[in-house]
Structure 1
Amino acid sequence: MRRLLCLALLACTAPALAAEPVTLHCERLFDARAGRMLGAHTITVEDGRIRTVQPGRIAPADGGRAIDLSGRSCLPGWTDLHVHLGSQSGPQSYSEGFRLDPVDYALRAVGYAGKTLRAGFTSVRDLGGEVAPHLRDAINQGLVEGPRIFAAGKSIATTGGHADPTNGWNSMLSHLVGPPGPTEGVINSVDDARQAVRQRYKDGSDVIKITATGGVLSYARSGDAPQFTLDEIRAVVETAKDYGYTVAAHAHGEEGMKRAVVAGVTSIEHGTHMSDEVMRLMKRHGTWYVPTIYAGRFVADKAKEPGYFPEIVRPKAAAIGARIQQTAGRAWEAGVKIAFGTDQGVGPHGDNAREFIYMVEAGIPAAYALQAATIHAATVLGVDDQGVLEAGKRADIIALPGDPVADINAVLGVDFVMKDGRVYAQP
């Protein structure tokens, strides 16, 4: 199976890394640490790293080449902390799981990854999908183009919970296959929880994702009921720490969020029914919030279309999806730490930047929204070599016409993308 996936992923090749130094002339530069837009700056890049960042327009060194980004703002490459590159929702999504092979999903993922990168997202955290670790490796080897991937692999769920892969199966099929266990990412005890994390380590995951409550798109009735005990989540978090993993918790309902925060997860994803009490807990524990407003709005809109979702899903999509943007605004006002994520794979890949616009509509300042996808996202990932435009950091640089701090709609116009010093798009 892995060999087939590798063959599928060999469909594209990435651009070659330029040997000579590159000088970028930016009309504006976003200071992600301070959250403000600066004037003209010159950035020099060599061997995949930023060498210098200097104010003004400075001529390139001998033998180097210059890229003129006049009229454009340069920003650190964005990070989307919640994507699913192996899929994209549609009216046929539920039946495709029975008709498509892993190779089909791998080939689709290559295209989705390319769209995501060219939209300005040089890194993503893929929170659930068996294709993602293989796609990550192919991108790292330069076989295909795409963002840097921090992959969760299979999400960890409980029996019948969101991310139980057998939800919706008929009794005959379930009997033939048997109940899924920790290897398949389904747990029902503290020991199971530890085994599931260790299996993710064995599978090569970079991060752990649990589904602490029901979900919108799973083939099950509840979208917000808690689905882990506190002890089970604690076992996940403690075992994850043994392997240097952070833990992201999908959660819509209040009780599931409380348990996840108290147990020590790094981030709450979606957070639809987040109460004032949950917000206070998150501030006390230093928990990050990744709202995924895009996904909420997308499913709420699609719930109005007969046949797009199964009937068991439509009520959840209508009720839960519409609330996420409001919750994000309340969380911002309350002082909860917010990082950027879309849950793309629910909505169309490549349209990730629209989340910035939805964040600003919710009352979050544009500069903070941009920080959420740069320096804040790097903090959530636990890395210190990206998210800012500074000497020594990765040369993940994007540019777009206009000033997104003054007009957030400018985020939709990315026309220059560099990742690790490679240029993938240029005006």
Structure 2
Amino acid sequence: MKAILATLGVTASLAFSSQLQAATYIHAGTLIDGTDNDPRSEVTIVVEDGRFARVESGFQQPSDDDTLIDLRQSTVMPGFIDSHTHLSSQLSQGSYMNRFTDNPATTAVRAAHYARLTLHAGFTTVRELGDSDHVSVALRNGISQGLIEGPRIFAAGKSLATTGGHADPTNNTRDSLIGDAPTPADGVVNGPIEARQAVRKRYQDGADLIKLTATGGVLSMASSGDNPQFMMDELESIVTTAQDYGMTVAVHAHGREGMLRAVRAGVDSIEHGTYMDEEVMAAMREHGTYYVPTITAGKSVAERAEIDGFFPEMVRPKARAIGPLIQQTFADAYNAGVNIAFGTDAGVFDHGENYREFGYMVEAGMPAMEAIRSATYHAATLLKQDDDLGTVEAGKLADLVAVEGDPLADISILSEIHFVMRDGQVFKQN
């Protein structure tokens, strides 16, 4: 009996070993690998245990135990990274009432739906820059556990603001509905001590990074869309505390002064950047600060500002003034040599339409290859995940997308992703 059990054990062990060794072979007609290399034709990508094992020239044949995916008629690229999303919300007419009517469970269900749309659009990783009710952290965990279909998430949790600032959740709310004044736990800080407390609370909540709103914003219920809203000591307190906890800092900013303070404080990225000037760009180059443009959000709010009743009247003039400017700011920043990472502010417009950003970037003068690299190599570098993400190279996580045709000749075909792989698992194949 012991001999039989031993034999069964050996057989099971061999079967398990064989299963681990099984690989996926992907025959790519064209590969854009995310590096600064030119595209390669007729390439085999071998995936083992969720990572790229090797990339070989020619169409190599798998063994009988391996899986073959035929993408010989496609252009294959690393999975895209959107550096600025809000999966817990989607702007629509009347959505300003959602915070008064929707329970956290409702928000979470919607977020799961938006996450799936995002993944199927080819975005295998996102930075989730601001939520409520801890939805993004829970969503991140559910996706990583295989319970929910969506992109890999790096979550900021609740954005940080000063009293009355862009991310103060009590703006324009009747006093009797507010109760106690919001605290650092709610994302509202005043002074460097509270700033430290807020970062530590985000860490306790399970956030991966910090998001703060250094200036006014378009969609908040406040009069200014660009005034500076943090002092230098507050910004420095946030940055140094975040660094102690291994967290990066992303900064919403439209106005020049708020951007300049944030860059000098050592933040990792500026989001939107509408009124960026040459001095701000020079400071960003000096500090290595990334710019995440969100052109699509700007275009979208400008269009919707023309729809009567879509925005509250306090928001409408800001949307009209700021929204149309972001694409030109992007062009100026690109020409000035500022580091640029792809980001859309999805949720301000409909989730799943993240691809629109590529077209606007190319329209503004960025070559298609650089636009793709902004959503792969550069976005991974901003995340400080370039050891695992951003390029198709041996040892990195196996994230891939594919389209029919040549996106370098026609960037618009990135709206028609027909293949998505994340961590070596296929989520879409048409």
* Common topology (TM > 0.5): yes
**Which of 285, 288, 307 matches 2:287?**
285
How far apart are the structure 2 equivalents of 1:189 and 1:222? 21
**Which of 62, 65, 84 matches 2:64?**
62
How far apart are the structure 2 equivalents of 1:193 and 1:39? 51
Pair 1:89–1:249, CA change in 2 (3 A) = same
Counterpart of 1:424 in structure 2 is 427
How far apart are the structure 2 equivalents of 1:24 and 1:408? 23
Q: CA deviation at 1:20?
A: 3.5
Matches within 5 A, 1:21-420: 21-34=23-36, 36-129=38-131, 130-174=134-178, 177-383=179-385, 384-420=387-423
How far apart are the structure 2 equivalents of 1:61 and 1:209? 48
RMSD: 1.2
1:57-109 residue CA offsets vs partner (Å, 9 max, x unmatched) = 11112311211112211100000000000000011111111001000000000
Counterpart of 1:5 in structure 2 is none
Pair 1:158–1:18, CA change in 2 (3 A) = farther
1:265-287 residue CA offsets vs partner (Å, 9 max, x unmatched) = 00000000001110011001110
Amino acid at match of 2:415: L
Q: CA deviation at 1:342?
A: 0.2
1:107-163 residue CA offsets vs partner (Å, 9 max, x unmatched) = 000100000000000000000013100000000110010000000000000000001
1:308-344 residue CA offsets vs partner (Å, 9 max, x unmatched) = 1100000000100100001000000000010000000
How far apart are the structure 2 equivalents of 1:86 and 1:31? 31
Q: CA deviation at 1:36?
A: 3.0
How far apart are the structure 1 equivalents of 2:58 and 2:344? 35
- Paired residues of 1:226 and 1:255 also in contact (CA < 8 A): yes
SS at match of 1:72: strand
SS at match of 2:285: helix
Amino acid at match of 2:397: R
Q: How many residues align?
A: 409
Amino acid at match of 1:151: A
How far apart are the structure 1 equivalents of 2:38 and 2:208? 31
Q: Percent identity?
A: 56
1:227-257 residue CA offsets vs partner (Å, 9 max, x unmatched) = 0001100000000000000000000000000
How far apart are the structure 1 equivalents of 2:94 and 2:276? 31
- Paired residues of 1:35 and 1:367 also in contact (CA < 8 A): no
- Paired residues of 1:18 and 1:421 also in contact (CA < 8 A): no
Amino acid at match of 2:322: I
Q: Which moved further from structure 2: 381-390 or 59-68? A: 59-68
1:189-225 residue CA offsets vs partner (Å, 9 max, x unmatched) = 0001000000000000001000000011011111000
Amino acid at match of 2:264: V
- Paired residues of 2:42 and 2:72 also in contact (CA < 8 A): no
Structure whose alpha-carbon radius of gyration is higher: 2
For structure 1, which runs of at least 5 residues remain unmatched after alignment?
1-16
Q: CA deviation at 1:35?
A: 5.2
- Paired residues of 2:290 and 2:382 also in contact (CA < 8 A): yes
How far apart are the structure 1 equivalents of 2:115 and 2:417? 16
4+ runs deviating over 4 angstroms: none
For structure 2, which runs of at least 5 residues remain unmatched after alignment?
1-18
Amino acid at match of 1:181: T
Amino acid at match of 2:158: K
Q: CA deviation at 1:18?
A: 9.7
Q: CA deviation at 1:52?
A: 1.2
How far apart are the structure 1 equivalents of 2:303 and 2:20? 44
Pair 1:91–1:58, CA change in 2 (3 A) = same
Q: CA deviation at 1:178?
A: 1.6
How far apart are the structure 2 equivalents of 1:405 and 1:393? 24
How far apart are the structure 2 equivalents of 1:253 and 1:36? 38
Counterpart of 1:4 in structure 2 is none
